[in-house]
């Protein structure tokens, strides 16, 4: 048992339970609302967030909760909320459906992302891949697993052999342009490209070695921080696009198998 195992076990349980609830709603008609022009939320995102929040706060009443839907519907600015979070409390950071657009259209890349932070550090990371019913999990100082099998990042060491994933950000249109410019310029320097538009699924794919590199601009803490710890504990490396280590206001991220990190920091310089 690790230091955070009690929290990890609760996160695993509720990620799976909420994931199965989301899956049961997959082919129903949804009430889709726009958060911004290309950023959507459904009643199922809210149900999932409520379910996860109620369970975790009932288990750990002195913990705080930072969920995508409550933060994005708040009148307060996201960065201001992050700044107001105390260092000496456990904070659950949750994306109740990462890949909402895929969920709405029945495209199978969507997941639930649950991370626990303490003192600005991620100490537990859980991602549930809803379509394939795979649970990815880790805790600080531990290894990373898919269900009960340990996972490792790839061993690809040559940039030209790299499979890269990125995204088409929902709310930062300037970031879209920068991603497309980078891809246009560098497209013949890598093996192939995936655009799943689901940060957590790209993250776990990095962690188990299906892809070698993942970069995305203009995302949010709830999209990537659980997958980040899973990638790191699977032997990978995670940083800002400028090489800076994890911080809570990070928006532009690069995750690699570690071997390719410096090469891609140079390759996708903006
Ligand atoms: C989305 C995904 C995607 C990113 C979008 C996000 P959401 O999360 O993480 O990778 O490109 O910008 O909105 O909103 O479906 O939870």
How confident is the model over 180-226, as pLDDT tens digits?
A: 999 999 899 999 999 999 999 999 999 999 999 999 999 999 999 99
Higher pLDDT, 114 or 185: 114
Whether pLDDT at 10 is above 70: yes
Distance CA 270, CA 267 (A): 9
Q: Could you read off the pLDDT of 132-160 as tens digits, one per residue? A: 999 999 999 999 999 999 999 999 999 99
Ligand 1 nearest atom to the CA of residue 170, by list position: 12
| Residue closest to 219 by CA, chosen among 196, 194, 186, 197 | 197
Give the model confidence (pLDDT) of 116-129 as tens digits. 999 999 999 999 99
**Whether the predicted pLDDT of 61 surpasses 70:** yes
Nearest atom of ligand 1 to the alpha carbon of 45? 16
Cα–ligand 1 centroid distance for 247 (angstroms):
19
- In this prediction, what percent of the chain has a pLDDT beyond 90? 89
Whose C-alpha lies nearest to ligand 1, atom 13?
A: 170
The interaxial angle of helices 199-207 and 221-233, nearest 10 deg, is 0
Q: Rounded to two decimals, what is the model's pTM?
A: 0.97
Residue 240 in contact with ligand 1 by CB distance below 6 A: no
How far apart CA 102 and CA 111 sit, in angstroms, is 10
Mean pLDDT of the chain: 95
CA of 2 to the centre of ligand 1 (A): 31
pLDDT exceeds 80 at position 270: no
C-beta of 113 in contact with ligand 1 (< 6 A)? no
Using DSSP bridges, classify how beta strands 145-146 and 64-67 pair: parallel, antiparallel or unpaired.
unpaired
pLDDT of 232 over the 70 cut: yes
Q: Is the CB of 99 under 6 A from ligand 1?
A: yes
Distance from first CA to last CA of the chain, Å, rounded?
A: 43
Chain segment 156-180, per-residue pLDDT in tens: 999 999 999 999 988 888 889 999 9
Query: According to the model, what pLDDT value does residue 239 have?
Result: 97
CB distance 67 to ligand 1 below 6 Å: no
- Report how far residue 27's alpha carbon sits from residue 59's, in angstroms, rounded to the nearest whole number: 31
43: closest CA among 33, 53, 54, 58? 33
């Amino acid at each position: 048992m690790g230091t955070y195992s009690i929290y990890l076990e609760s996160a695993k349980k509720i990620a799976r339970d909420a994931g199965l609830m989301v899956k049961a709603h997959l082919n129903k008609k949804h009430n889709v609302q726009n958060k911004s022009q290309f950023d959507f939320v459904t009643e199922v995102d809210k149900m999932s967030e409520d379910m996860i929040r109620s369970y975790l706060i009932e288990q750990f009443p002195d913990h705080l909760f930072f969920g995508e839907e409550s933060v994005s519907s708040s009148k307060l600015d996201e960065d201001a909320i992050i700044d107001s979070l105390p260092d000496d409390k456990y904070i659950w950071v949750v994306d109740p459906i990462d890949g909402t657009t895929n969920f709405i259209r029945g495209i199978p890349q969507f997941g639930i992302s649950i991370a626990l932070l303490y003192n600005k550090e991620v100490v537990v990371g859980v991602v549930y891949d809803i379509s394939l019913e795979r649970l990815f999990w880790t805790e600080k100082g531990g290894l990373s697993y898919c269900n009960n099998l340990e996972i490792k990042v790839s061993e690809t060491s040559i940039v030209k052999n790299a499979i890269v994933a990125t995204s088409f950000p929902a709310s930062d249109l300037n970031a879209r342009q920068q991603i497309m410019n980078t891809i246009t310029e560098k497209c013949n320097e890598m093996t192939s490209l995936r655009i799943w538009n689901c940060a957590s699924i790209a993250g776990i794919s990095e962690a188990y070695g299906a892809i070698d590199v993942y970069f995305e601009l203009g995302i949010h803490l709830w999209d990537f921080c659980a997958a980040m710890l899973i990638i790191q504990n699977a032997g990978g490396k995670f940083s800002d696009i400028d090489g800076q280590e994890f911080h809570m206001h990070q928006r532009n991220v690069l995750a690699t198998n570690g071997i390719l990190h410096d090469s891609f920091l140079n390759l996708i310089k903006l």
